[in-house]
A and B are shown apart, each in its own frame.
Chain A
Amino acid sequence: MDGLLALAQAFEQMATSQMLFHVIWATLLGIFVGSLPGLTATMGVALLTTLTYTLERDAAITVLICMYVGAIYGGSRSAILLNIPGTPASAATALDGYPLAQAGRAGYAMALATAGSAIGTLVGILLLVMLAPPLAEAALRFGSFEFFWLAVFGIVISGQLTGGITPLKGYIAGLLGLMVAMIGSEGIHAHIRFNMGIPELNGGIGLIPAMVGAFGFAEVLTVMWRAKAKVVNAAGEKDRILPKLADLWRYKFTIGRSGIIGTMVGIIPGVGEDIGAWASYAAARRTSRERAQFGKGSYEGLTAAETGNSAVVPGALIPALTLAVPGSAPAAVLIAALFIHGVRPGPMIMIEQPDFIYSIAVMLIFATISIAVFGLFLTRFFVLVLKVPREILMPLVFTLCVIGPYALTQRTFEIWVMVVFGLLGFILRQMNYPMAPLVLGIILGALLDKSLRRGLTLSDGDLTPFFTRPISAVFVVIILASIILGIPTVRKAISRGLDRLLKKQAKGTADG
């Protein structure tokens, strides 16, 4: 009840004409960014962070959240019409969206994607409001020992889940991020590490220039490298652009389940929207009656993927707000933006700014309403957006990549950081190193470093409390289990063992 009251108060506070104006332009821009293949939500949020320095706190965060929600949703447009996901989050959407577009049902596919995204985000918001306050309260019991394992857990899980079938590259990306975080003044004795004689490195590597490089410049290079995409002949332009309520009702369980899966995936540190979409899609395919239709133009598959990826957004904000550990790459940028605007995410948030979580929920609700309205009524406009030539867009994007990070500190050094991370990010991505663990490493490096050394100081160099305190022990078990299960030979042995067991059982039943 208190939560509902706080939500109503936040709504009343934020429903101003100025805020609605910000919601409209930022969501439109977000859908635009997400629609264009190559421009990701992370890049959009990172670039927009550099444009929101002068806005007041709530307006700035609203703009960034609308960009985030809009971009994740916008990715479905190019996935459906071009068979190229606008953002990695929409890769699963393309599987059924594009066949539907080819069959002349592009309009209806986009309508279903819109409804799925909106409902998915709403499910996520509900869980955010329900889970964030108790999680923040629980996190108050975390000490240095637990925070150390939380940071390790974030890197390991993120590496494991984003590294695909070769989690080793995910772990390496995470380690690289942690190494980057070791540069500059450390948090306990203010000793400067690895500055290589460059005074500008004393303060460390800024997250925003690094992210703008790794996600902005690297995307520009990827887009210019690849062949131009062609928009599918949208026979769907004459198609129905409003979803049938009957269809939504038919898929109610799929929608609900995908919303919950997406939110839960969002809560896992550094995993992100693409995994949310794939996990929801896989769950829907396993249980669907129209399983054979999946991958050939299934409405259910499309709805599951879109609901799943959108639900990750509020989910990713749960650990970001309560633990300062991002659930996804765009959430990592949001954490940096929160610090810039004077909000200190972490366990203390429910004590220092208890209403802020509800303000975030209201911002997400505004963004959801916007994507629903724009998505359903501006379908044809967004088809036009996909036709913007990359030769026009990319130099503008790169110019913003240059001036945005510079504007943060007004130092040319930030441009160098952006360029280096852009080139490295491009190469690493082509070599199948996921970017999310790298970003998470940069964010969690300081937490891991300080917590380990502080914990060791408290225990006078004794490692035992790192393994014997209850929460720490749980983390240790999960981390070890996920590392062991990540080893291909172990995975194969387990699946062989399970197969044998199932065969034995089947034989036993047949004999019986």
Chain B
Amino acid sequence: MTFDSATADRWTSIALFAMGVAMLIGGYTMDRLEIRQIHPASIPGLVPMILGAAMMLCAGLLFLSARAAHSAVAADRGEHPKHSSAESSPNLFFAASYSVVYALALVGSMPFALATAIYIAVFYIHFTWDKTAPIHQRLMRVGYGIGFAVIGAYAIASLFQYGFLVRLP
């Protein structure tokens, strides 16, 4: 199953329908603030209820039209082909997971500049690493990565800390 397929759309429609139901119930059961004697038409749950119902309707339509919509999109792409590009799932997985680890775990658990320098260095070295290159070239790559990371990290940290007076995380 790819992101852009009828099956993916059907699964998404189920998730969206559930979200719509949750919003509808959340809006319906929300405090109506009777104690404050507000106008019944201005209850805080009104719009969430409407949005929940609208989402349920759209999710239902998405489920029903998934196959037809994808045939139409495929026909359209036949006329206007997308730019061809080979995609790399390992690259995506590494970039996503490593960036999340940096943002949610490294930042805050050590000085910001250090966390950033580690992040940039590892990111750079990982994506430029060439197993077939001679050892001295690889060492140079590592050295360049660390140097670039240290300069980049301290420049950004200093800009925010001293330029914009931000208390860094």
**Cβ of B135: which chain A residues have Cβ within 8 Å of it?**
none
Given A225-B88, A419-B100, also A172-B55 (CB < 8 A): yes
Query: In chain A, residues 379-414, which have Cβ atoms closer than 8 Å to a Cβ of chain B?
Result: 389-392, 394-396, 398-400, 402-403, 406-407, 410, 412
CB-CB contacts of B24-62 with A at 8 A, as 1s and 0s? 001000110100101111111111100100110011011
Mask: chain A, 423-465; 1 = CB below 8 Å from B; 0 = not:
1001100111000000000000000110011101100110000
- For residue B152, which residue of chain A has the nearest CB? A396
Q: In the complex, how many angstroms separate the beta carbon of B162 from the nearest chain A beta carbon?
A: 11
Neighbouring B residues of A165 by C-beta, 8 Å: 69, 72-73, 76
Task: Please list 11 pairs of residues, one from A and one from B, whose beta carbons are closer than 8 Å in the complex, sorted by A's number.
Answer: A165-B69, A166-B69, A168-B69, A182-B47, A221-B95, A390-B127, A395-B120, A396-B156, A398-B99, A431-B3, A453-B47
Is B128's beta carbon under 8 Å from chain A? Answer: yes
Cβ-based interface call for A299 (8 A): no
Q: How far is the CB of B104 from chain A (nearest CB, A)?
A: 6
The contact string, 1 if C-beta is below 8 Å from chain B, for chain A 154-195, is 000000000011101101100110110010001011010110
| Shortest Cβ distance from residue B103 to the other chain A in the assembled complex, whole angstroms | 5
A227 to B87, CA, bound (A): 6
Cβ contacts under 8 Å, A395 to chain B? 119-120, 123-124, 149, 152
What are the 3 tightest A-B residue pairs by CB atom distance, in nearest-first order?
A456-B41, A430-B3, A224-B95
Residues A188-228 near B (CB distance < 8 A)? 188-189, 191, 193-194, 217, 220-221, 224-227
Measured in the bound complex, the distance between the Cα atoms of B102 and A76 in whole Å is: 33
CA distance A171 to B95 in the complex (A): 30
B44 near A54: Cβ-Cβ < 8 Å: no
A175 to B23, CA, bound (A): 11
Chain B interface residues toward A at CB < 8 A: 3-4, 8-9, 12, 16, 19, 23, 26, 30-31, 33, 36, 38-48, 51, 54-55, 58-59, 61-62, 65, 68-69, 72-73, 76, 83, 85-89, 91-92, 94-96, 99-100, 102-104, 107-108, 112, 116, 119-120, 123-124, 127-128, 148-149, 152-153, 156, 159-160, 163-169
A84 at the interface (CB under 8 A from B): yes
- Of all chain A residues, the one with the shortest Cβ separation from B70 is A166
Given known contacts A175-B54, A178-B51, A452-B46, A225 and B92 CB-to-CB distance under 8 angstroms: yes
Given A226-B85, A391-B128, A406-B169, A179:B42 Cβ within 8 A: no
**Beta-carbon contact of B123 and A391 below 8 Å:** yes
User: Contacts A172-B62, A396-B152: A194 and B47 contacting too (C-beta < 8 A)?
Assistant: no
- The reply to whether the CB of A264 lies closer than 8 angstroms to some CB of chain B is no
Is A374 an interface residue when CB atoms closer than 8 A count as contact? no
Least distance between A332 CB and chain B CB atoms (Å)? 19
| A224:B48 contact, CB within 8 angstroms | no
> Cβ of B9 and Cβ of A431 under 8 Å apart?
yes
Of A168, A179, A193, A227, the residue contacting B85 (CB under 8 A) is A227
Given contacts A220-B99, A453-B43, 11 further A-B contacts (CB under 8 A): A172-B62, A175-B55, A178-B51, A179-B19, A179-B48, A193-B44, A226-B85, A395-B123, A398-B99, A403-B169, A419-B104
Contacts of B48 in A (CB 8 A): 179, 182, 193-194
- Structural contact, A415 and B103, CB atoms closer than 8 A: yes
Given A224-B95, A415-B104, A403–B47 Cβ distance below 8 Å?
no
Contact in complex: B55, A221 (CB < 8 Å): no
A166–B95 CB distance below 8 A: no
Check if A430 sits within 8 Å of B4, measured CB to CB: yes
Closest CB-CB distance, B121 to chain A, in whole Å? 9
Q: Is the CB of B73 within 8 A of A191?
A: no
| A221 pairs with B92, CB closer than 8 A | yes
Contact of A365 with B by CB under 8 A: no
Q: Which residue of A lies closest to B125 (CB)?
A: A391
- B-contacting residues of A (Cβ < 8 Å)? 51, 53-54, 83-84, 94, 164-166, 168-169, 171-172, 175-176, 178-179, 182, 186, 188-189, 191, 193-194, 217, 220-221, 224-227, 389-392, 394-396, 398-400, 402-403, 406-407, 410, 412, 415-416, 418-419, 423, 426-427, 430-432, 448-449, 452-454, 456-457, 460-461, 488
Q: Which residues of A contact B102 (CB under 8 A)?
A: 398, 402
Q: A432 with B83: in contact, given A175-B55, A179-B55 (CB under 8 Å)?
A: no
User: A172-B62, A193-B48, A416-B104 in contact; A391/B73 too (CB < 8 A)?
Assistant: no
Q: Which B residues are CB-close (under 8 A) to A221?
A: 92, 95-96, 99
Q: Tell whether, in the assembled complex, residue B87 and residue A457 are in contact, meaning their CB atoms are under 8 Å apart.
A: no
Q: Name the CB-closest residue of B to A217.
A: B99
Contact, CB under 8 Å: A172 / B59: yes
Which chain B positions have C-beta within 8 A of A454?
42
Neighbouring A residues of B123 by C-beta, 8 Å: 391, 394-395
Question: For B3, B159, B168, which residue has the most chain A Cβ atoms within 10 angstroms?
Answer: B3
Q: Which residue of A lies closest to B61 (CB)?
A: A168
B42 — which chain A residues lie within 8 A by C-beta?
A: 188-189, 453-454, 456-457
Provide the residues of chain B in CB contact with A403, threshold 8 Å.
112, 156, 160, 166, 168-169
Q: Complex Cα distance A332/B99, Å?
A: 26
Decide: B103 and A418 in contact? CB cutoff 8 A: yes
Q: In the complex, what residues of B have CB within 8 A of residue A83's CB?
A: 83
Contact A175 B58 (CB under 8 A): yes
Bound form: Cα–Cα A461–B43 in Å: 11
Contacts of B31 on A, CB cut-off 8 Å? 191
Report A-chain residues with C-beta under 8 Å of the C-beta of B119: 395, 398-399
State whether A457 touches B41 (Cβ < 8 A): yes
Pick the most buried of A51, A395, A403, A454: most chain B CB atoms within 10 A of its CB.
Answer: A395
Are B62 and A168 closer than 8 Å at their CB atoms? yes
Task: Please indicate the chain A residues that have their CB under 8 angstroms from the CB of B156 in the complex.
Answer: 396, 399-400, 403
Chain A contacts for B40, CB-based, 8 A: 461
Instruction: Say whether A193 contacts B30, CB under 8 Å.
Output: yes
The answer for the CA separation of A220 and B42 in the assembled complex, in Å, is 42
Q: How far is the CB of A105 from chain B (nearest CB, A)?
A: 21
Q: Are B47 and A452 in contact (CB under 8 A)?
A: yes
Contacts of B19 in A (CB 8 A): 179
